[in-house]
Amino acid sequence: MSLTETRTTIPEDARREGVLAAVIALLVRSVGRVVGAIDEWRRAVASVVTGRGWAVIIAAVVAFTVGTMLGWVEFIALAWGLAVVAAAASVWLLGRGASTIGLSVPIRRVVVGEPAQARLVAENPGRRRWGGVKLEVPVGRQVMEWVLPGLARGGAFDRSFRVPTDHRGIVQVGPARTVRADPLGLVRREIVWSEVAELHVHPRTVAIAALSSGFVRDLEGSPTRDLTASDIAFHALREYVPGDDRRFIHWKSTAKTGTFMVRQFEETRRSRLMVVLDLDPEAYRDDAEFELAVSAAASVGARAIRDARTVSFVVSGASAVPGQAGQPGVPVRPSATPTRYSGTTRRSSVRGAAGVVRELPTVTRDRLLDALCLIERDEHAAMIADVAPAAAEALPGVSLAFLVTGTARGIGPLRAAASRLPMGVDAIAVQCSPEGDASARTVAGLTVFGIGYLEDLRAMLARTASVA
């Protein structure tokens, strides 16, 4: 027999087992589809039936069961009546409505108190007239509501509405959704049409004088002990070595000695400005003090960024744990030394994750102010006397530190913070007391500004800079 005539003979038992396996697999897939469909239907029903609707359904089932078991016609009639009401309510869920509803916030960043608006546009490109649907747009903690009028084909509903900017923070606008619900409130169907838009409400800032005027002596950079062949700070002369840049040959010394002499420099490094915002709630008498402190710190940081200075903006607190959602920042090595005041020991809240020192982004002014929208006081926050030295040690090249806080705890923690800063770091403390009297004093080498308005900070910095 040739190879082409050879056939593989499959035993009858094997054929039956293969058919049985295929049937079992088909049944399993069918059961899976049915279970999936039932689960999807259950979730769909649960998403549209309200608590009142479930109460009506349960009451109908109970009334029908009791009426059937006890033979009470009244209960059976009641059950059928509730069932008819539930069935009639479901009619209100039919239909989808407009195919395009857009929500936009034209200006995404505003200052506290500035007007801000959002725009809502609903269009009906379909053939049938559409309207009478309730439209909801969450705006912060409130919900804006409209009942859309009847829109013919190609019709549009265009509305602009105000977004509240009374408080610093991030206001979430949207999503826009249409709501279909029966008059009794048994069922409710929501269709989401847009994404959530965010409005950043920045703290108020004031334009202050350039921070490089008078405050920072090393505008070009602070000289170090590292020597280099090319920089700004002149150090000494030395003999020429092959490979040296001929531009730095000192010709007068060369003529006197008969040997090529070149200039040698001290390497300079750009100084860093540090702003420390106190988040300890015990440092502030009320919300107004904290908001003024945020605005004062933001004004200094924004001016430093505008001057293209190297600036670090530092805060602390349990809410500043790196990686927590909505909390931008980079962790900085904390200090673990507790601080004592007035004979009492205060917690060292910078120890561990609850007191991580955090540096806010200062790439641009908007990035810094966006981050400040999320900053709030924290009862687990580290004291400023712990935060300031820990941040100054972790951030190289700090030459000037602004310590911004309230008036509830007095001058003691500020003096402790200034005394623990590394050598060569000057400190300026800013105590905020809304509508208070402006003052400037020096306590144990620490300059302390007391401000009642942001304009006081501008005037004091300008006066100090002119004196320096």
- DSSP symbol at 210: -
> Is 8 a member of any domain?
no
Q: Is residue 280 part of a domain?
A: yes
Would you say residue 331 lies in a domain?
yes
Which residues make beta-bridge pairs with 198? 172
Instruction: Give the pLDDT of residue 373.
Output: 92
Instruction: With respect to residue 161, please indicate whether it lies within any of the assigned structural domains.
Output: yes
Q: Residue 266 in contact with residue 231, Cβ under 8 Å? A: yes
Instruction: For residues 88 and 138, state if they share a domain.
Output: no
Q: Report the CATH number that the domain containing residue 361 is assigned in CATH.
A: 3.40.50
- Rounded to whole angstroms, the Cα distance separating 443 from 140 reads 45
Q: Which residues of the chain have pLDDT under 70?
A: 1-19, 37-47, 94-99, 126-132, 210-236, 265-271, 317-356, 464-468
Instruction: Find the length of the chain.
Output: 468
Is residue 315 located within the same domain as residue 444? yes
User: Quick one: 279 and 264 in the same domain?
Assistant: no
What type of residue sits at position 388? A
Residues 447 and 395 in one domain: yes
**Does residue 405 share a domain with residue 285?**
yes
pLDDT, residue 456, reads 87
Quick check: is 27 in a domain? no
In a domain, 183, yes or no: yes
Alpha-carbon distance of 279 to 292, in angstroms, equals: 13
Provide the residue range defining the domain that includes 426: 272-467
Domain boundary residue among 202, 232, 256?
202
User: What is the tally of helices (H) and strands (E) in the chain?
Assistant: 9, 23
How many structural domains does the chain have? 4
Q: 382 and 422: one domain?
A: yes
* DSSP labels, 241-266: -TT--GGGB-HHHHHHHSS-EEEEEE
Whether 300 and 319 share a structural domain: yes
Which pLDDT does position 126 carry in this prediction? 64
Q: Are residues 258 and 386 in the same domain?
A: no
Q: Is the domain of 322 the same as that of 418?
A: yes
Residues 86 and 104 in one domain: no
Give CA torsion, residues 312, 313, 318, 320, to 10 deg: -80
pLDDT in tens, 231-255: 444 456 778 788 777 777 878 878 8
Output the domain CATH number for residue 120.
Answer: 2.60.40.10
Distances (CA, A) of 421 to 108, 334, 386: 39, 13, 10
Question: For position 178, what pLDDT does the model report?
Answer: 80
Q: Both 336 and 402 in a single domain?
A: yes
Query: What type of residue is 296?
Result: A
Residue 115 sits in the same domain as residue 187:
yes
Residue 205: name the closest of 408, 427, 313, 366 by CA. 366
Annotate 348-387 with three-state secondary structure. CCCCCHHHCEEEECCCCHHHHHHHHCCCCCCCCCCCHHHH
φ, ψ of residue 455 to 5 degrees: the values are: -65, -25
pTM of the full structure: 0.67
CB contact at 8 A, 36 and 44: no
Strands 117-124 and 272-277 turn out to be unpaired
Cβ neighbours, 10 Å, residue 316:
31
pLDDT of residue 350: 35
Examine residue 18 and state whether it is found in any structural domain, yes or no.
no
Domain contains 16: no
